[in-house]
Amino acid sequence: MNNRKLVLENGMVFEGEGFGSFKEKLAEIVFNTSVIGYQEILSDPSYCGQIVCMTYPLIGNYGLADDDYESKNIYMSGFVVHEYNDLPSNFRFTRTLGEVMEEAGACGISGVDTREIVRLIRDNGSMKALICDIDKPYEECMEMIKNYEYPKNQVQTVSTKKVWYSRTPNPKNTVVCVDCGVKLNIIRKLNQAGCNVVVVPYNTTKEEILRYKPDGLFLSNGPGDPENVTPVIHLIKEMKGVVPILGICLGHQMIGLAYGAKTYKMKFGHRGGNHPVKNLDTDKVEITSQNHSFAIDIKSLEGTGLRLTHINLLDNEAEGMMDDKNGVIAVQYHPESAAGPEDSEYIFNRFMDLMKKGGDFNAKKNRY
């Protein structure tokens, strides 16, 4: 029986069956084209304050496994799916998708035409949406949507509130991770590369970071508009040239802003595991995993000291930048591949090489 509905900002209504939490959720609706990885998507802090419509028609069929979460909390507002399966077939699963969503207060709706919803978002752009009970008056729904304003404190919401550590045997380097909503597989990749990782809140100062005597600084992915994350933008300006820096997704955008480039909000963003990206240094094409609403304006890179290293072959959007002089690497996509292809894992090796060189930067004498 249909007991829930999805109301879009453009006035369209889709009736379906609820799963997960049965609270009301009002948020921005976006779509993701991944075939697998709904657990990683659900637990990715970058989806804070968003409702995600999945293009793959069957969701929930392999349950959730304890080792596959990308964060310790669920920040997503809701899932919109064509068919929800509550009887998983997977020897690794420990809980169902609906159970975890109910605990986290995330709403789900199934039995709707996700193809039509995705086309609406593709053609008109991401928009506000409400998941609620089917008998809620339409006029009341539209009034709620009209009065809703997108939050500007998502990074503050998802960032760690205290320092924590992820250590590895026989470490080669110490990396400080500025947590703007970091995915755990990024931490795992840094550990596998031989790095002890110190995860700090997004508003940690340069002086506090240097107390850990880092060999490198990592700027994580995260939700929202990069222009709102002013503490990290200021930190980048202070830290460039002191130690090598790697930024992924939101980190990529914040590096661009710190160098004087500009960002803009995309029509519907990039979310999926099959985005073709060309490496301009090698002329090779990599298939990448992506999740972002904002992007760097390529024209604004001129004169910033950053050179373009990667572009998206679908829309020529900036996918990678580098400051060779100061050892700064920035990529818009997700080289940690959770879930997604592993074509771009070499980015972590490139970061390791920069840390191995150590102090070939102008500010070596002021490092610690």
Q: What is the pLDDT of residue 357?
A: 82
Q: Are 3 and 18 in contact (CB under 8 A)?
A: yes
The pTM of the full predicted model, rounded to 2 decimals, is 0.95
| Cβ atoms within 10 Å of 104's Cβ, excluding its own | 16
Q: Which one, of 208, 205, 259, lies nearest residue 235 by Cα? A: 205
Given 82, 270, 275, 334, the catalytic residue? 334
- Using DSSP's 3-state secondary structure scheme, residue 352 falls into helix
Active site residue 139: no
Q: What is the pLDDT of residue 365?
A: 40
What is the rounded distance in angstroms from the CA atom of residue 197 to the CA atom of residue 190? 7
Given 53, 180, 249, 317, the catalytic residue? 249
Active site residue 334: yes
Q: What is the pLDDT of residue 359?
A: 52
Q: What is the pLDDT of residue 362?
A: 45
pLDDT in tens, 88-139: 999 999 999 999 999 999 999 999 999 999 999 999 999 999 999 999 999 9
Q: What is the pLDDT of residue 115?
A: 98
Q: What is the pLDDT of residue 339?
A: 84
Active site residue 336: yes
Query: Which of the residues in the chain have pLDDT under 50?
Result: 362-365, 368
